[in-house]
Copies of this chain bind each other. A is one copy, B any other.
Amino acid sequence: MPLPWSAELAGRLDRHMLTFETLRGNPLGDPVERPLNVYVPPGYDDAPDRRYPSVYVLQGYTGHVAMWDNRSPYRLTFPEAADGVFSRGEAPPAIVVFVDAWTLYGGSQFVDSPGTGNYHSYLCNEVVPWVDAHYRTLDAPEHRGVTGKSSGGFGAFITPMLRPDLFGGLASHAGDSLYELSYVNEFAKCTRALREYDGDIWKWWADFQKRPGPTKSNDLSLVMTLGCSACFSANDDGSIELPFDPRSGRLRDDVWQRWLAWDPVRMVDRHADALRSQKAIWIDAGTRDEWFLDLGGQAMVDALADIGVTDVHFELYDAGHGGIDYRYPLSLAYLAQRLSPKP
């Protein structure tokens, strides 16, 4: 077991703070200057001509890059664990990129939206080129992957669908999907929580912002629901449509359809070629996932099979939604193997 306070890296983690033009003028007034952490594997500096596959890491809702340094008991951080994968030779070396997509509402779902900003473009059109320009990556899509958990797993599902010219591999741990099972229950919880705010999410938001972070049991459900509405069902002027009636929880069909258009399960058909081009697809989740993302994973696997994509690593295990970061190194190794050039 590791010493508790920190671990030495065999590779190197570079911490950059960069200004991203794509985020300028974003509707929430979020910073255009963002951290970007780039990990290079052991040996990188000793092999100045070698090029490496790259894996982009996306975070779950309310995550931001500084949280990759959070320590939890008896665990390595993911950068440390990733370093272990490479230093022990469990996978060919790769560059790992930690991307920040935090917003005032806790996240961006890695999409372009008038409600939050252009985080998909930011990732694809600014972050990736910057990394390719400053690190010795193999810059063809078959050598570039994306991974993440929860909302990050959603980002890992959709980004290669939208940009197969950039991404040729993905890993999704308990990735948001099958929205009828994962989201609708949240709407019910939110509706009950809004009773004390006259069914007005903006009254809650005003109150929430005055408090020292989440202090009520449904605050994070409300944050996520507000934020995802900003991502999936914002109007052109940046205003937000909730997918449900906040008095009763009843689905608003037209808005809900906009959400479903972003359900990875429903996107598979529209992006079949992109998915067929992937060199690596890893999907996993805990069998007790509180948002039923084990079923979301299964639905993805089935939808992929329907378009002929069956070379998928799919795995369920005894866990809920939390505490599954010990899974990330496994999929990282998988991606590194699949995205490395054949010898």
A residues engaging B (CB < 8 A)?
Answer: 1, 3-6, 31, 35, 62-67, 69-76, 81, 100, 102, 104, 106, 178, 180-181, 184-185, 187-188, 191-192, 208-209, 211-217, 220, 223, 245, 247-251, 265, 287, 292, 294-296, 298-299, 302, 318-320, 323, 326, 329
Contact = CB atoms under 8 A, between A and B. Distances in A.
10 contacts: A3-B31, A63-B73, A69-B70, A74-B106, A178-B248, A181-B184, A188-B292, A217-B320, A245-B302, A247-B302
A66 B80 CA distance: 15
Contacts of A212: 75-76, 81, 326, 329
A31 B211 CA distance: 39
A326 B248 contact: no
Contacts of A67: 70-72
A206 B102 CA distance: 39
Work out how many copies of this chain go into the complex.
4
Contacts of A192: 287, 294-295
Among A212, A214, A245, the most chain B Cβ lie within 10 Å of the Cβ of A212
Nearest to A187: B181
Contact of A265 (B76, B185, B250, B265): B250
A169 to B, nearest CB: 23
A interface secondary structure, majority = loop
Contacts of A72: 67, 213
A248 B293 CA distance: 10
Contact of A191 (B63, B251, B265, B295): B295
A215 B66 CA distance: 24
Contact of A73 (B180, B220, B247): B220
Nearest to A301: B248
Contacts of A73: 62-63, 106, 213-214, 220, 223
B5 A64 contact: yes
Nearest to A69: B69
A1 B209 contact: yes
Nearest to A195: B287
Contacts of A208: 74
Given A5-B35, A181-B188, A298 B64 contact: no
Contacts of A298: 247-249
A215 B319 contact: yes
A192 B297 CA distance: 13
B249 A295 contact: yes
A125 to B, nearest CB: 22
Contacts of A75: 212-214
A323 B302 CA distance: 36
B35 A188 contact: no
A4 B178 contact: no
Nearest to A216: B318
Nearest to A244: B180
A302 B252 CA distance: 14
Nearest to A182: B188
Given A5-B65, A66-B5, A70-B70, A250 B184 contact: no
A58 to B, nearest CB: 15
